[in-house]
């Protein structure tokens, strides 16, 4: 294939076999969100660039290096969304969803960042996001943590993830802390890399998020943000910890945990794994109590999180929880031996779909001989094969091959629904 027409670097196709695992995970999470009474919101992929300039922070990597921005024909600067919290806040303000309400919302879709592609990090990536507005107590923080913990338990990956939490305080507390950090890092400038030196003058808290091993060692002796946070904020944080203890949720307090976006305040959290190398954060979030007001709304407490679906599925595939080597599974495969039987096979497939609505049925449109089917049974990843053979169908008989029980028999066409019901719906 000509390189000019191949997919863009860092943006890849998701193939049918791969999406079997994706669909399983998506359905599991949607069921949980429904049980917690969270509602879906669908947001545009394109937003005005100024939205992200106002919310994300000018010193962040996203704003400085990673945005996909361009000018349209009217000379408006537009951006492919790098995250969706800003879009969600914009939407709830624009459509008056905050008026005497405390919306609990979720969304799912692609985000875009111009990063160096590597395992678990892509330029187009998928996030499942949850946002809650109007609730300021630690109880809603606990609810989100319980919700996601339930999700990990259903997927069977709880033991592979560590919940790290921290309180990063208010903007005022972080301003005081920045001054202390600047003094500390200025004494150890030789340990800082080029990126950290750039952050030192403008936003030294960003250095806490560095993956540089020398800087991580330096951070062991760095001043702690918790020493500069007001007592009420710390009281709420400790209350959250007690609530998690009550529900036996395992967690680690990481005093150097911050988020890569400036709108966060107070409680922040991340679920990390040791099985994916550098790109180890699977889910992250926190409070952003000033963002609604920042975008022109009223003062509204808010909290949210996002699950990196690419990394989550990569984790599960790495640990062989999903195999991509299997053929796509159908419940029933229908074959016929002669072109004159094709219309009858098509009618049969539609009849079964009309009555047995939850079954997946694959109709093969090319004639095939029964002997060839038997030679290639391993090729068909299904429970039942129905074969319409020309001579037998004239007697109203159909071959039913049960691959699970390894048996074959002829049945009358009129009794096909009854036979299939006994196979698929019997207790």
Binding-site positions for L-histidine: 83-85, 113, 127, 131, 259, 263-264
CB contact set of 38 (below 8 Å; sequence gap of 6+): 104, 105, 106, 130
Rounded Cα distance between 242 and 342, Å, is: 66
Crossing angle of helices 416-424 and 342-355, rounded to 10°? 50
DSSP letters of 54-65? Answer: HHT-TTSHIIII
- What is the total residue count of the chain? 427
Q: Which residue has the tokens 């920042």?
A: 294
Tokens 């020493």 locate to 227
Q: Round to whole Å and give the CA distance between 275 and 269.
A: 19
Strands (E), 228-298: 252-253, 265-272, 281-287
Return the closest-CA partner of residue 317 out of 10, 84, 14: 14
Beta-carbon count within 10 A of 320 CB: 7
Annotated binding site: 83-85, 113, 127, 131, 259, 263-264
| CA dihedral sign, ordered 370, 374, 380, 383 | positive
Reduced to 3 states (helix: H, G, I; strand: E, B; else coil), residue 46 is strand
Write b or e for each residue in 6-38: b if 16 or more Cβ atoms lie within 10 A of its Cβ, otherwise e. eeeebeeeeeeeeeebbeebbeebeebbeeeeb
317-321: Cβ within 8 A, 24+ apart:
317/21, 318/275, 318/276, 319/157, 319/160, 319/275, 321/21, 321/155, 321/156, 321/157
């Amino acid at each position: 294939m000509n390189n000019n027409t191949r997919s863009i670097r860092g943006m890849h196709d998701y193939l049918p076999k791969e999406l079997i695992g994706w669909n399983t995970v998506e359905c599991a999470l949607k069921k949980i969100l429904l049980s917690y009474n969270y509602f879906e919101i669908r947001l545009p992929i394109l937003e005005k660039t100024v939205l992200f300039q106002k919310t994300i922070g000018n010193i962040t990597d996203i704003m400085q290096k990673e945005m996909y921005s361009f000018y349209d024909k009217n000379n408006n600067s537009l951006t492919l969304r790098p995250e969706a919290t800003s879009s969600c806040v914009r939407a709830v303000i624009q459509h008056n969803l905050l008026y005497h309400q405390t919306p609990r919302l979720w969304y799912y879709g692609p985000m875009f960042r111009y990063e160096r592609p590597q395992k678990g990090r892509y330029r187009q990536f998928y996030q499942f996001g949850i946002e809650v507005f109007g609730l300021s107590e630690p109880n809603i923080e606990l609810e989100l943590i319980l919700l996601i913990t339930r999700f990990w338990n259903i997927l069977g990956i709880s033991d592979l993830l560590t919940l790290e939490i921290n309180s990063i305080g208010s903007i005022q507390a972080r301003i005081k802390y920045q001054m202390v950090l600047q003094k500390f890092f200025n004494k150890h400038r030789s340990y800082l890399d080029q990126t950290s030196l750039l952050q030192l003058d403008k936003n030294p808290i960003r250095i806490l998020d560095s993956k540089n091993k020398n800087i991580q060692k330096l951070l062991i002796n760095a001043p702690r943000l918790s020493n500069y946070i007001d007592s009420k904020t710390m009281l709420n944080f400790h209350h959250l910890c007690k609530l998690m203890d009550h529900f036996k949720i395992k967690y680690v307090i990481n005093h150097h945990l911050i988020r890569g976006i400036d709108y966060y305040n107070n409680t922040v959290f991340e679920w990390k794994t040791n099985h994916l190398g550098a790109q180890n954060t699977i889910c992250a979030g926190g409070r952003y109590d000033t963002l609604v007001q920042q975008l022109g709304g009223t003062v509204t407490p808010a909290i949210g999180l996002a699950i990196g679906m690419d990394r989550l599925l990569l984790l599960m595939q790495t640990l062989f929880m999903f195999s991509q080597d299997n053929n796509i599974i159908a419940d029933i495969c229908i074959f016929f031996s002669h072109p004159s039987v094709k219309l009858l096979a098509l009618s049969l497939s539609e009849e079964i779909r009309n009555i047995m609505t939850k079954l997946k049925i694959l109709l093969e449109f090319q004639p095939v001989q029964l002997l060839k089917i038997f030679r290639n049974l391993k090729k068909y990843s299904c429970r039942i094969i129905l074969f319409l053979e020309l001579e037998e169908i004239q007697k109203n008989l159909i071959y039913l091959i049960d691959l699970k029980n390894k048996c074959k028999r002829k049945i009358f066409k009129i009794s096909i629904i009854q036979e299939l019901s006994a196979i698929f719906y019997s207790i």
